Amino acid sequence: MPAAAPNRPAQRRSRLEPITAIGAAIVLAVLAAGIAAPWLTPWEPTQIDPFFFLEGPNAQHWFGTDGNGMDVFARVLYAARIDIGIALASVALAVVLGTAVGLPLGYAGGWVDDIGMRVLDILQAFPVFILALAIAAILGTSLPNLILTIGLINAPPYARLIRAEVVALRHRTFIEAAECAGNSHSSLMLRHLLPNALTPILVIAPLNCGWAILTLAGLSFVGLGIPVPEAEWGAMISAGAADVVGGRWWTATFPGLALFLTVLGFNLIGEGLQQRQAQR
């Protein structure tokens, strides 16, 4: 028997890491539950049950009710829409912004790159969550503003990542070969550099979605995100924090579990993708 041909790893491409699959399943399940919420619970997220204030889990209110008499289960489900929605939108914004800045910087090199990098240095000298707090406090807490805030503070790392990839690729022979082949600047950037620089971005993106949800929930937790009575996990935990000391555990625990599970799902996807990339 001849030795197996080592240069045909074609079949491996389509296979997913098991943890990626588990993570994707979690995220999809949470998202599906959020979308299907009207069929899963009779309660509206902001509907008040006048007979139950701060009641523990029971047959009518599976996760109990909060201090306003709203159904925690319904609120946890509906919150998935807003949390995952904002996370995906803000990460998409960050990727687009980061690419638009990082690609030309890395390609141009020289003083353009130097100045660009110094500006990024300065932006990254701010601890991210603190910048998020400050921008959210100043811009105000409308939905588009939150997407903008989380997207903006997330863009510099992407710009840096893309730029680093491009700088590393810039002196690879195949880019020189493409230059010798007569490609224009835009063709070199978009046709040759971008597809090769994108992989690490796409690997980081799921991890970033998890992080974006945590940021949104953190902002809401301290009252600088989605305002009450809108259903959002962080705001719900915040409202429930005071109940805990009185032993009423359900108002903070259930939204926290949902939040944790969703972030875990995104992180598992990211972990699997990273492992896969590391094996290459």
Partner 1 sequence: MTAPLLEIRDLRVAIPTATGVIEALRGVSLSVAPGEVLGIVGESGGGKSMIARTLTHLLPAQAEAQGQVTLAGTDVMTLRGEALRRFRGRSVGLCFQNPRSALNPVRKIGDQLIDRLREHAPGGDLRARAVTALAAVGLRSPETMMGQFPHQLSGGMAQRVMIALSLACNPRLLVADEPTTGLDVTLTGEILTLIARQARDGARGVMIISHDIAALSKVSDRLVVMEKGLIVEEGSTRRIVTAPRHRYTRRLIEAVPDVTTRRRAQPREDGRSVVMAIRDIDVTYPARFGRRPAPALTGVSLDIRMGDTIAVVGESGSGKSTLSRAIMGLLAPSRGEIRFRGKTMSSMRFSARRGLRRYMQMVFQDPFDALNPRMSVEDIVSDPLRLVERDAARRSAAIDRVLVEVGLDPTFRTRRPHELSGGQAQRVGIARALSIAPELVVLDEPASALDVTVQAQLLDLIRRLTERRDRAYLIVSHDLATVRALCDRVVVIDAGRIVEEGPTEHVFTNPASPKTRALLDAAPRLYTDAT
Partner 2 sequence: MRIAAFIAKRLALLIPVLIGVSIASFFLIRLIPGDPVLLIVPETATEADIAAARERLGLDQPVPVQYLRYLGGVLQGDFGTSIATNRPVAMDLAQRLPVTLELVTLAMLLAVAASVALGVHAARRLNRLGDMVTRIGAIIGNSLPEFWLGIMLILLFYQGLGIAPAPSGRIDSALAVPTVTGLITVDTLLAGRWDSFLNALAHLALPVVTLAVATSAPLIRSVRASAIEVMQSDNYRCAAAHGLPEGRLVNRYLMRQTLTRLPALAALVFGNLIGGSVLIEFVFSWQGLGQWALRGMQVRDYPVIQSFVLVTATAYVLVFLVADIVQAMLDPRVRI
Check: CB of residue 146 under 8 Å from CB of residue 136: yes
Nearer to partner 2, 89 or 133 (CB): 133
> Which one of partner 2, partner 1, none interacts with residue 13, CB within 5 to 8 A by kind?
none
Helix (H) / strand (E) element for 95: namely: helix 72-108
Binding residues for partner 2, how many (CB under 8 A)? 48
Nearer to partner 2, 132 or 175 (CB): 132
Nearest alpha carbon to residue 247 among 108, 64, 106: 64
> Does the footprint of partner 2 cover residue 239 (CB under 8 A)?
no
> Does the footprint of partner 2 cover residue 156 (CB under 8 A)?
no
Among 184, 202, 241, 275, binds partner 1 (CB under 8 A): 184
Nearest alpha carbon to residue 152 among 84, 89, 88, 93: 93
> Does the footprint of partner 2 cover residue 247 (CB under 8 A)?
yes
Nearer to partner 2, 106 or 256 (CB): 256
**Which pairs with CB-CB distance under 8 Å and at least 24 residues apart come from 52-55?**
54/243, 54/248, 54/251
Rg (CA), the chain: 23
Among 44, 55, 179, 230, binds partner 1 (CB under 8 A): 179
Check: CB of residue 103 under 8 Å from CB of residue 160: no
- Judged by CB under 8 A, the chain residues 196 through 215 that form the site for partner 2 are 210, 214
C-alpha distance across the termini of the chain, in Å: 26
- At closest approach, how far in Å is the CB of 193 from partner 1? 10
Spatial CB neighbours of 202, under 8 Å, sequence gap ≥ 6 = 273
> Does the footprint of partner 1 cover residue 186 (CB under 8 A)?
no
Residues found near partner 2 in the complex (CB under 8 A): 118-119, 121-123, 125-140, 210, 214, 217-218, 221-224, 234, 237-238, 240-241, 244-245, 247, 249, 252-253, 256, 259-260, 263-264, 267-268, 271
